Amino acid sequence: MEKPVEFSKFYRVLNAAKEGEEGKDLELESILKQYETCEESISPLHQLAETFLYVGMTELYKYSELQDIKAIGLLDTEHWDKLAEDKKADLPPFLANSMIRYSKTNKLSKKIATRWGTSRRELDNNIMQMARYVTEGLIDALE
């Protein structure tokens, strides 16, 4: 379809914010606002990934019941296990399923295909893989 989607800058900012680096929490918030609108996306898959990063972070905040990425980064295994029990789902499948559900509910592939003049089917074929890719990146950044 196109060149690979890569978001190392986002994950570096996320990790820095999690570690408490000054100003990175505001930078993360700014990036997420951009991803919410996808106005600066450079391709269909890029837009899909930006949307999933935004949805994933929003769902992470809901799942953890915290709005502070630094506090989320400090949660221990016992707390994550309790959250998984309370939510009846471990974090990775919860995030990936939230992204997939969001894409269906909001007819994301249709919107993206229309914007970019590309095949909706091709986007549909990338939704699960992109949800996994984004989820793995978010989980890695939290560890």
Q: Has residue 97 been placed in a domain? A: yes
Q: Has residue 1 been placed in a domain? A: no
Taking every pair of Cα atoms in the chain, the longest distance, rounded to a whole number of angstroms, is 47
Q: Has residue 82 been placed in a domain? A: yes
Distance between CA atoms of residues 23 and 30, nearest Å: 11
Please give the torsion angle defined by the CA atoms of residues 2, 106, 133 and 9, in that order, rounded to the nearest 10 degrees. 80
Q: Residue 13 belongs to what domain range?
A: 8-142
Please give the torsion angle defined by the CA atoms of residues 72, 73, 75 and 76, in that order, rounded to the nearest 10 degrees. 160
Number of domains in the chain: 1
Side chain identity, residue 105: T
Q: Has residue 107 been placed in a domain? A: yes
Q: pTM of the prediction?
A: 0.93
Q: Has residue 131 been placed in a domain? A: yes
Q: Has residue 135 been placed in a domain? A: yes
Distance between CA atoms of residues 129 and 9, nearest Å: 20
Q: Has residue 18 been placed in a domain? A: yes
Tens of each residue's pLDDT in the chain, 143 residues: 456 667 889 999 999 999 999 999 999 999 999 999 999 999 999 999 999 999 999 999 999 999 999 999 999 999 999 999 999 999 999 999 999 999 999 999 999 999 999 999 999 999 999 999 999 999 999 88
Q: Has residue 2 been placed in a domain? A: no
Residue 1: the pLDDT is 47
Side chain identity, residue 34: Q
Distance between CA atoms of residues 78 and 82, nearest Å: 6
Cβ(95)–Cβ(54) below 8 Å: no
Distance between CA atoms of residues 31 and 117, nearest Å: 25
